Each structure stands twice: as C-alpha cells, then as structure tokens.
Amino acid sequence: MADQSIPEARTPEASPKGAVSPEAAQKEGISRRTLLGTAGATGLVLGAAGGAVGYAAAPAQATPLTSLGADQVMFHGKHQPGITTALQARGHLVAFDLAAGAGRKEAAALLRRWSQTARRLMAGEPTTQDDTDVARDAGPSSLTITFGFGHSFFDRTGLQKQRPVALDPLPDFSSDRLDKARSNGDLWVQIGANDALVAFHALRAIQKDTGSAARVRWQMNGFNRSPGATAHPMTARNLMGQIDGTRNPKPADSDFDQRIFVPASGSNDPAWMANGSYAVVRRIRMLLDDWEQLSLKEQENVIGRRKSDGAPLSGSTETTEMDLEKTDAEGNLVVPINAHARITRPDQNGGAAMLRRPFSYHDGFDTDGVPDAGLLFICWQADPLRGFVTVQRKLDRGDALSQFIRHEASGLFAVPGGAAEGQYVGQELLEG
C-alpha cells in the first residue's frame, strides 16, 4: 500500500466538468431506461464524470434522482473508465479463463458482447436481453466496467507476438503468500459503482455474457466509503483506520499521463496498447488483530503519518511535504527510517509512481475468529516494472508495515485504451 491518494471524490452537489444541467438535458430529449409505466414512477437520470447530468424523463412531475444515482461515466473515450474515475462505494473484481477450444474468434465475440453490455449499463439502460431488473429503479450511479488481458490470454489466442514485454510475470516478494487459484487469469474485469445493486447487476450481466466462451477463475468483492458520508471530500481511510493515499499522482500533474498511460507512440509497447495502462491487482490481507494491539503512537510510527488527519509526523497538514530529516529532542528521526510513507515516496524510489485505486474487503472470519479483511489493491501505471515492482522491492527491504499485512493473491493485466464509438475494447488487438 503506497502513500499516494486517489483523485478526490466530488461532493454530491458538485457540478462535474462538462456536465449538462437537468433543464438542458430535458430540452435535448435524452432518453432513459423504460419507465415503470405508473404515473408516480421516477425516470432514471444521466450524468457526471465526463458525461452529462440527467433528468427525470417523464412524467414531468417526477422528481429527479439524487446526484449519487444520476452520475454517469462515459464508456467510449480515449482511456477506459474506472482508471481516473473517483473511487466508488462498491466494487467487484473478476477474472476469467477462456474455455477449452476457445481462441481469438471467441475472444473477439466475447469482448464485443461485453463492450455492448458495458456501454448500456453505464448509461443506466437494461441489457439487450434477459435483463434481471436488479437495477431497474436506479440510475447509472457512476458505474464503470473496465477490461484487461492477462499474460496467458495471448497463448490461448495465438497472439503471442502481440504480448507486451511489460506483461511479463511479476517477481516474487517476501510478503507473498499467493493462492494461485485466486491469481492471474486470461481476462480481467473491474466493476465499480456507488450503488451495491447497480454493481451486482453489472457483475451478473458480464458473467452471463460469457456464455460458453469462458469460465470464472476467481471473483472478489470490495467497498469504500460512500460519497457524501463525510462533511467534505477527503482521502479514503483503509481498514486499519489510516488515511490511505495522500500522495497519489493527480490528473492535473504535468507528468500524469506519462506515468499512468502508455503513449500513442515512442514506447516499446505494441500499438494496440496506445492510451492503455497496466493494472497490478493484489489481495492484501491486513492482520488486524495484531495491528490493533499497537498503541496509537506505534501505529503512527509504522505509517509515518498521524492517524487523525493523515499529516506527516514532521508536522502541519496532510498535504504538507514530509520533512525526512527532522529529528526530535533526542536526535531521533521524527519519521522513522522504516515508516511506510517514507519508503513509498517517489523521490525515494527514483521517481517511481502509480495511481492507486483500491477497494477494502471483508470476507468474514476464520474458524478461530480472525477477520479475513484487508485491501483489494489496484494500481495503474504505464510500466509496472518502473511503478509497482520498483516500489514493492523497496518495501521488501524493510517496510515497518510488512509484518501487519500479507499478499494472498496477485494479477497483472494489460488494459488497452478506450473504445471509440462503434468499436469494442481490444478490437485493434483481436482484429488487427
């Protein structure tokens, strides 16, 4: 878990850039999901991150959804959704393996179906057939669906020559206790939404779309704090109670695209990865019983930041630059030499940075009552060797947090750029 923050979530009342007002949308006659057909039924609403704020379709007296339900993320674009999108309250991660005998043709048909389903669901529309109606009464709720390819996908489809070098398997790390059955996979899908039923509806639709072309390899469920649950937007907290993600690169940074996305030209990546990114996915179990036995001061020394507000132990506020040389009255470093926040700083790792976009998880308790809980760590970078691998190797050499976490599953996936109108994700790879 690196000391970097996700882009700040908007407050429910905020007007996203490029948003269209409900009145303007109504004039343009944007259609929504089929109405329930009763006079009091509420129409669904479009809107938000990169899209348009929508309206209650009809009848005219129907009240519009709150902004949480109305927010819409666009499926088509330069990059796939779910990378720079603000953290959502619910998430599902699922990996698939192609079925025996399925190859490039079947994979192309599957990605075409998935892309069509993703576009419709992200717009708040039902699937084309056999919709379960689970999300019938809800708006898009910032739903995003993101698709990626694992290392083994290229062997299964005969596309080995198109496999990026950056997709080479990750090295072993000392904190790894990996379950191979819950790691890797031919295909990976990330689903996020601010409503639990909307997220589940998408998960079920994607799984049904696979038909006989693929089978589920593993699936994990996660959550974050709901938008509007705090008095003002703030960096997320993890299950250790720590503000987690203060130094995440931000889209406004001049080098953001260079660090996070594969350039359209001038890189060693194949052309089909232009504007794409690489996702490292790790199921990191937090040893919460051990962690919670520490005093507040001990916890803060492990992280290198105050638990209350995320400020560095060297003082001031959360976003204040950490003073790595500051000492106390006895000459000891205020931020311990093995503090997690010190070790993960880009300037301590040759500038290595990654965009962290995780979900917390809780899968119940072991037979002895120990919570099976932690972080579904997801990070994005243009080159995983210069991003995740560089930082994780440094953590392996002496991170104070390592004794309180355990990496139990892992995956690395090539996530191509976004699909243009009329195209599907991965089309250049599968039909090029």
Query: What dihedral do alpha carbons 113, 423, 188, 205 form, nearest 10°?
Result: -30
Contacts of 234 (CB under 8 A, 6+ apart): 8, 243
CB 342 within 8 A of CB 322: yes
In degrees and rounded to multiples of 5, residue 176 shows phi and psi of -75, 130
Q: Please report, in angstroms and rounded to a whole number, the separation of the first and last CA atoms in the chain.
A: 37
Q: Are 273 and 362 in contact (CB under 8 A)?
A: no
Let me know: does 387 contact 255? Beta carbons within 8 Å. Answer: no
Torsion of CA 208, 212, 217, 222, to 10 degrees: -10
Dihedral sign, Cα of residue 100, residue 101, residue 105, residue 110: negative
- Sign, Cα dihedral of 411, 73, 116, 123: positive
How far apart (Å, rounded) are the C-alpha atoms in residues 61 and 201?
28
C-alpha–C-alpha distance, residues 16 and 251, integer Å: 15
Between vectors from CA 296 to CA 295 and to CA 299, what angle results, nearest 5°?
85
Active-site choice (131, 186, 244, 383)? 244
Local structure of residue 370 (DSSP, 8 states)? -
Q: Is 194 helix (H, G, I), strand (E, B) or coil?
A: coil
309 part of the active site: no
401: buried, middle or exposed (CB in 10 Å: 19+, 13-18, 0-12)? Answer: buried
Neighbouring residues of 43: CB distance < 8 A, sequence distance ≥ 6: 32, 33, 35, 55, 56, 57, 58, 62
What is the number of alpha carbons within 13 Å of residue 403 lying toward its C-beta?
11
Based on the number of CB atoms within 10 Å of its own CB, is 60 exposed (0-12), middle (13-18) or buried (19 or more)? exposed
Residue with tokens 């690395």: 412
Residues marked as catalytic: 244
